[in-house]
Amino acid sequence: MKDGAQAPPVVPEVLTQYIGFLLSRMGTIAQKRFSTRLEALELTPRMWGALNVLDAAGTITQHGLCKRTGMDPSSMVATIDDLERKGLVERRAHPSDRRAYALHVTDAGRETLSEGREVVQEVQDELLAPLDEAEREQLRSLLVRLVTAAGNTP
Amino acid sequence: MKDGAQAPPVVPEVLTQYIGFLLSRMGTIAQKRFSTRLEALELTPRMWGALNVLDAAGTITQHGLCKRTGMDPSSMVATIDDLERKGLVERRAHPSDRRAYALHVTDAGRETLSEGREVVQEVQDELLAPLDEAEREQLRSLLVRLVTAAGNTP
DNA sequence: CGAAGATTGTTGATGCAGCAAACTATTTAG
DNA sequence: CTAAATAGTTTGCTGCATCAACAATCTTCG
């Protein structure tokens, strides 16, 4: 019966004192899970993030998306290419700047968004299974403060 | 004065509701910061993690390290190579298994560990600057529970 | 006005980490 | 003793981040 005595794996106690390690590790795990589940919609995490921010912004340029998502401009090109190829996003002419595109979410894009939200909710519920509702909100709030602060210093 | 009206960047409100996104983003940020700071000691985050776990374990095999750190065996080979080349770790013969190595931290390795702990502590303090002591402990505890649970399900 | 500099989107090159397959040497199971 | 599993290693593929360079366009300011 080796399954009963399964190694106490995955979180060496030494490292549980390093919040940085925990953040980085949990981040990787989350990313992997979302990535796997989003495959069903033929979306990558980057596409999903961009689509969400774009939808919330209404209209925005690629550069604007880069600033908000922290994504590199060159990666953004590929991401928008992918989204446009799937018909979820359109590159329209920007009304006042001929260098830039005015990005728009299509109806198909909004459809995909609502499907995606269900999937994402499921994954999130799995990841946060050990926490009750109050703890989840606590975690969320702490993370928002950290990400916000970290984004304004570097 | 455009610097006063700096864009409210880095955390689009849409995404603050996705704890998965926050985790993944904060994890990336943390990793980058640590990576930068550890360069002063000529260490990568992977080397640092392996060195810590190894030190805490006393003696352990590469495979054991892989299980505990979640690192890929092929990556582990390169990581141990690096640590050994810097004289921080030794690959000794395993007493009872001629396939495996018994890894040991050298005196130089312990020296580096104590230097590294100071650096890591600094970075952690910077990252967690917005949180008071109680909140940090709260975050740590929540993350440990999540990582532990996530490590036992996949 | 008009030249200099900044911005937007794009391409290409580089490097790293994760993943999987194949392989050797050795140990364990049946 | 043979078959299967394990430890370590090598190699190649993939995905993503980062960087430098570039063309088109906008902005600034003498």
Query: Would you call B3 exposed, middle or buried from its count of C-beta atoms within 10 A (0-12, 13-18, 19+)?
Result: exposed
Helix A45-57 vs helix A62-69: crossing angle, to nearest 10: 110
**pLDDT at residue A2 greater than cutoff 60:** no
Total Cβ atoms within 10 A of residue B134: 8
Query: How confident is the model over B55-77, as pLDDT tens digits?
Result: 999 999 999 999 888 899 999 99
pLDDT at B17: 84
CA of B77 to C1' of D1 (A): 33
Q: Is there a contact between A10 and B129 if contact means CB atoms under 8 Å apart?
A: no
What's the whole-number mean pLDDT along residues B118-134?
Answer: 93
Beta carbons of A15 and B117 less than 8 angstroms apart:
no
User: How far apart are alpha carbons A69 and A49 in whole angstroms?
Assistant: 7
Average pLDDT over every residue of B131-140: 96
Query: B92 has which bridge partners?
Result: B102
Would the Cβ of A63 be found within 7 angstroms of any atom in strand C?
Answer: yes
Mean predicted confidence (pLDDT) in B82-100? 96
**Regarding predicted confidence, which is higher, B84 or A148?**
B84
Q: Which nucleotide is nearest to A32 (CA to C1')?
A: C18
Nearest to B134 by CA among A86, A14, A142, A92: A142
What pLDDT, in 10s, does the model give residues A96-114?
A: 999 999 999 999 999 999 9
Q: Is the pLDDT of residue B154 over 70?
A: no
Kindly identify which residue of chain A lies nearest to residue B46, measuring between CA atoms: A21
Q: How many CB pairs under 8 A join A and B?
A: 200
Rounded CA-CA distance A147/B128 in Å is: 10
Chain B residue with Cα closest to A23:
B27
- Token pair, residue B153, equals 């399900």
Nearest CA in chain B to A36: B154
pTM for the whole structure: 0.86
Residue B101 forms beta bridges with which residues? B93
pLDDT of residue A12: 75
**B62: CB within 7 A of chain D nucleic strand:** yes
Separation between Cα atoms, residue B94 and residue B61, nearest integer Å? 8
pLDDT at position A128 is 93
The answer on pLDDT for A145 being more than 70 is yes
Does residue A75 reach within 7 angstroms of strand D, measured from its CB? yes
Give the C-alpha separation, B87 to B29, whole Å: 30
DSSP lists the bridge partners of residue A89 as A105
**pLDDT higher than threshold 90 for residue B110:** yes
Q: Hey, are the CB atoms on B7 and A67 less than 8 Å from each other?
A: yes
Whether B21 sits inside 8 A of A139 (CB atoms) is no
Of all nucleotides, the one whose C1′ comes closest to residue A74's CA is C10
Residue A154 pLDDT exceeds 50: yes
Contact A103, A90 (CB under 8 A): yes
Burial of B135 (0-12, 13-18, 19+ CB in 10 A): middle
pLDDT tens-digit readout, A3-39 = 333 334 457 787 888 888 888 888 888 888 999 899 9
- Contact between chains at A30 and B10 (C-beta distance less than 8 A): no
CA nearest neighbour of B147 among A24, A120, A141, A38: A24
User: What span, in angstroms and rounded, lies between the C-alpha atoms of A115 and A131?
Assistant: 25
pLDDT tens digit sequence for A48-75? 999 999 999 999 999 999 998 889 999 9
Which of residues 34-73 of A have CB within 7 Å of strand D?
35, 44-46, 71-72
Residues of B in contact with A20 (CB under 8 A): 30-31, 33-34, 120, 123-124, 127
Question: A90 and A104 in contact (C-beta within 8 Å)?
Answer: yes
Residue B121: pLDDT over 60: yes
Token pair recorded at residue A99: 């260098």
